Amino acid sequence: MEPVLVLAHTEAVGSLAKPALEALATALALHGEVTIGLVGAKVQAGAEQVACSGAVRLLGIQGDAFGQARYSTDATAGEALCRASGAAVVIAPATSRWARALPGVAQRLNGRVDTHATAMSIENGVPAVTRWFYRQRMEAVLTRTQRPWIVLVDPGCVAPWSGVAGAATVEMVPVEAPATRTTVLGAEAAQAGEQTIRPDAKLLFVAGAGWTKKQADGAAHAAEAEQVILNFLRASQASLGGSKSLVDVSGEGEAVLRFMTHLNQIGQTGSTPRHAKGLSTCCHGEEPHTVGWRFVHQRRAVNLDANCGWARGKADVLYVADAFAVMREVNRLITR
């Protein structure tokens, strides 16, 4: 196996987050010589965290300029670490920082980059990347001859490396931060109000447009729907997803679920999150929606329609029932 570099940026506190440890686990499973390259305002704490992982070298680039997410500084650091390590294969977590900077690094090094990898393995003696195509409809395993080969591994695909911390000596790679035109004053969350997207939650709760439709009494009950869903999310700490129809209606400013935005959309033109379980409510289960459920292990749905899309092999369990009644009862049971 060729030498591998794992690229990771440290968090504000100096340690490594879960996606970085997942990239490390992916690299170690290839059984090659692994170097870890750390970037951040400070890297010592992160280095100590992975000191006992079996990596042969720990490289670092640190300084205030490298603590901030910025293409120019992240690409400079990534390039310098790739050159210093001499690695043929570079594995990094697909964080927004690396996803933005590493394709440019591949270009600078005359290498290649692959994104959205879900696994790596050795096929016929060479490293291979597994990834999905056509919005998670086809899975492929591919190899490349060009080097360095940079691979961005999607978070949540492998168990993160875990082990005890230890003493670490980091080889600092001297690099000057490029001149930047922007000054970072602080960070502001993109979403105002209630935080409903929780990638690490065990359960994905999906709300569909049915929550806003006229019900058996001939009236819509959007305000009640909002309350029932919020109560469930607060009690269960589930992550909230939505169908395209529902987030589109919310986006038009209709009085529906005010905490629902396009960021919540699951599906072909939305996201494909990874959760152990999923519960779909008032959502028809059409293919462009359910393709976003590819990585949800156990799928259940509540729909009034026994002939909805979920009934056609898309869900493990379909409850033919009124979601208002079901979720009111679930809330009563989990909050009593």
Can you give the binding site for ligand FAD, defined by CB under 6 A? 208-210, 213, 215, 243-246, 265-270, 282-284, 286, 288-289, 292, 302-305, 308, 322-324
Please report how close the Cβ of residue 264 comes to ligand FAD at its closest, in angstroms: 10
Please report how close the Cβ of residue 284 comes to ligand FAD at its closest, in angstroms: 3
In sequence order, the 6+-apart residues with CB closer than 8 A to the CB of 165 are 48, 49, 51, 52
Characterize 118-145 residue by residue with b for buried, 16 or more Cβ atoms within 10 angstroms of its Cβ, and e for exposed. Answer: bbbeeeeeebbbbbbeeebeeeeeeebe
For ligand FAD, give the closer residue by CB, 41 or 220: 220
- The answer, yes or no, to whether the previous bond of 288 is cis (omega within 30 of 0) is no
Which of these, 252, 267, 234, lies nearest to 334 by C-alpha position? 234
For ligand FAD, give the closer residue by CB, 2 or 316: 316
Which of these, 185, 303, 281, lies nearest to 236 by C-alpha position? 281
For ligand FAD, give the closer residue by CB, 48 or 286: 286
For ligand FAD, give the closer residue by CB, 90 or 318: 318
Return the number of other C-beta atoms located less than 10 Å from residue 264's C-beta: 23
For ligand FAD, give the closer residue by CB, 67 or 270: 270
Distance CA 57, CA 186 (A): 33
Three-state secondary-structure class, residue 64: helix
Give the residue ranges of DSSP H helices in the chain. 18-28, 44-49, 71-85, 96-108, 222-236, 244-251, 287-290, 323-335
Please report how close the Cβ of residue 312 comes to ligand FAD at its closest, in angstroms: 12
Report helix, strand and coil shares of the chain as percent, to nearest 5: 30, 25, 45
Please report how close the Cβ of residue 276 comes to ligand FAD at its closest, in angstroms: 21
Please report how close the Cβ of residue 255 comes to ligand FAD at its closest, in angstroms: 17
Sign of CA dihedral 248, 192, 236, 256: negative
Please report how close the Cβ of residue 314 comes to ligand FAD at its closest, in angstroms: 11
Please report how close the Cβ of residue 140 comes to ligand FAD at its closest, in angstroms: 22
Sign of CA dihedral 309, 137, 247, 296: positive
For ligand FAD, give the closer residue by CB, 144 or 213: 213
For ligand FAD, give the closer residue by CB, 9 or 289: 289
